[in-house]
A and B are shown apart, each in its own frame.
Chain A
Amino acid sequence: MLSGIVFRWRNAQFFLNTLLLVLGVLTLDILLATPAAWLTSRTNLRGRRFWTVLCVLPLAIPGYVMAYALLALGGNNGIVTQFFPFLSRVPRLSGYWGALLALTAYTSPYLFLNLRSALLGLDPGLEEAARSLGYRYREAFCHVILPQLRPAFYASGLLISLHVLGDFGVVSLMRYESFSYALYTEYLLSFEHISAAWLALMLLAFTASLLYLEARLLKRVTLHRAGRGVAHHLSLVPLGGTGRAIAYFFLISLTFVTVAVPIGSVLFWMVSGGGEINAGLIKGLIGSLSVATPTSVLCAFLAVPFAYVSVRYPSRVSDALGRAAYIVYAIPPLAFALSLIFCVLHSVPFIYKTLPVLIYACTLHFLAEAIGPVRSSLYQASPHLEEAARSLGCSPMQAFFRTLLPLLSRGMLTATALVFLAMMKELPLTFLLSPAGYETLALNVWSYTTEAMFAEGAPYALAILLISAAFVSVLIHRQR
């Protein structure tokens, strides 16, 4: 049994492929998201909020839609050929490069949002000190700013790696044989889940080693102000004419690939196939919102104690607690859902198949996405403030709510946005745990595209994008 499933040569191949993909996606994400986050938070570029929304938006595009959209570009009757007939034979994306591109496009917002939130919370004092000691801006950026972004890099790097490890939609459509291929096949096709459980355990072992690595890297990071005084507002870096031109060129090319191409493809399906907007859209919208909103808010609040314990009281126990959320995140959703079905039916059967159970499941699953940004802003908040509040007579709870919570609001808003967008495209938990008769936008998109009815699915995909853009805009508006 074991020899046929765990110890076989193909797994080694799958692992190598997966590792290459994870490394590729991380590298590309860092190269793209870092400048984008800096440009939209620390420069005087115009329309920073607009660009921020565009950079975050790919997160709301389901991976398989992104893959279908990129695939639809090339080939004999691809969209490129239809619009530019002189380019007669554009090959279709596939394999490693196809998977790399699609996964980078939809994972880059994780890094972007985490970095942006960290950049906005930086204490300008250090940077100014560096400049006054003779560093040029570029040197100050590399030696002073970048090191302060470590928690954001690690947290989002972890999330992105877990995403790539668990992704099936993109790699299968791009025909790239990664580890999740094997895992997904076992879970989806076989009723005997023993072999799938073995593969899931292998995946968890991989996750655990990533978590260990992150914990080692994050050891003894101190980022808050140590001295006296109050952080003042950040000054924006003025861009010159050339700088601005390069910045616009970069942002336009980036969002062209990650946003315009998928939206363009979806619109093309809708127009060419005669997809129409009907009443199902409203039902799906209500369904999506009624779970995504409470889940994202709950996640942001629940992340606070997790982050607080691991940053303020670092110990083996608190570390393990903070990492537990990531382990839950890495459990294949189907296995997670089945175990929840079992637990709920044997303890509180009367709430089975109700929305609170679905919200509970989604909150547990997505908590990991919320911890990163909250932890980042916690690193930036000085413990001296709480100590001062205590010395002025506040109880620990009062001190927490009066001094710390306001400082965490930026991280919590980012966390809410991340979870909300991820929830807008959630499928496996919804499938198994939602009440009968409940449906979401994502479920509709999946239901139509899987039957090759792209035109009918297109309005639902566009609705996901619109509602996500609106939600993120509101959050960014609140997040100064």
Chain B
Amino acid sequence: MKEKMKRMLAFMLLFSLVAFAAGCGSPASPPASGEKTGTGAAEEVKEDDDEVEKTAAGPAMNPKAQEMEQVLMEQLAPLPEFNTGEKIGVLIITLANPFWVAMKEGYEQAGAELGIEVTVMAAPTEGDTKSQLETLDAIVARDYAAIVASPIEPFNLVPGVVRANKKGIKVINLGPPISKEALKEAGGWLDGRITVDYEEQGAMAAEYIVEKLGPAGGKVAIIQGIPGAGQSEGRTAGAKKVFEAAENVEIVSIQPGNWDRNTAYNIASNILQAHPDIRAIFCCNDVMALAAADALEAAGKREGVIIFGVDFISEAHEAIKEGKLDGSIAYSIRVYSKAALILALKTVQGHAIPDEVFSPLALVSKENVAEFEGWE
């Protein structure tokens, strides 16, 4: 009997923990416009550098980012009404990747700026397609006016989007595409899409690499993300095209690193084993590029190899400044997330929006990294 009591007690304890976590995580009453979302983000996401603090205070944007915002806003005109308190649900890929953590902050900050209520949810890991769909289903069951969704792969969110359509919730697709064909077949649709031109990202990085290699050229390798993922396939295709067109540049290896630091590290060291004379490695994101740089460093072969990533996460920013990484392709997370919310607002308020909007891009390398101080 005593033992039963003990067990009961422990389960109750666990249960109260659920309740406690609920208290921490659920959004409080409608935002008074401003601070609320900013502080929420600071609590939930580990702040490991001073940049986060600056965003919480609402800093002046980096001039380069402001330029980009201007361009995008012109593309999005006429703007919808702000401070209307609409509820918008956001489904990102995973909070286990710094890029998506930054996106989450971007969304929350943009939500505060625009005076709307934004909730960001994610799948537990980058490969968990099934959990992501389940998360979307649960979001659809709530009372959001619109959902901004970024799928792990083109098909996994399709049934959830159809349910949102049926319920009259607007759906904006950000980043990796949700298959329009599959949606159509399932009787659903997207209300809008905002994305980055992935091929262009790969091509920009490859052009920089080719230029740096000069007429002598050399061996290059590509580390992809998860095979089949939109960003990975697009960036690879763009880079491949440029490398193949360049004289004396030879692609010796294209390997899937699954967006994973450890996998990319191993691949980079293997590539180095097979091709000690490798001259450049293009990685489909920064996390893998940083891992590749570490792997080459560990082998004492970092000198003379160009390593390029994509996304320009803050760790990559530091690494470029230190010369550990050669460069990355940037698009402003703040502009990107804000644009998605504006698109969502426009559809909710009945404005027409273009089928597809592209976020502007910038190449960051050691030559121009100084201009990107305070970039988000």
A binds B: no
